[in-house]
Amino acid sequence: MEKVTGLGGVFFKCDNPQEMNDWYARNLGLATSEHGTTFKWRQVDNPSKQGTTTWSTFPQDTTYFNPSAKPFMINYRVENIVELVAELRKNDVTILDEIAEYAYGKFVHLLDPEGNILELWEPAAEEAPANEDG
Q: How far is CA 91 from CA 57, 88, 114, 128, in A?
A: 32, 5, 16, 33
pLDDT, one tens digit per residue, over 68-93 is 999 999 999 999 999 999 999 999 99
134 in a structural domain: no
133 in a structural domain: no
Supply the pTM of this predicted model: 0.85
> Number of folded domains in the chain?
1
- Stated as kind and residue range, the H or E segment containing 54 is strand 50-59
Predicted pLDDT at 134:
40
Q: How far is CA 7 from CA 16, 22, 57, in A?
A: 25, 24, 16
> Can you tell me whether residue 114 is helix, strand or coil?
coil
Q: What is the CATH number of the domain that holds 14?
A: 3.10.180.10
Strands 100-102 and 105-111: antiparallel
> Mean pLDDT throughout 16-28?
94
14 in a structural domain: yes
Q: Domain residues for 114? A: 4-127
Predicted pLDDT at 5:
87
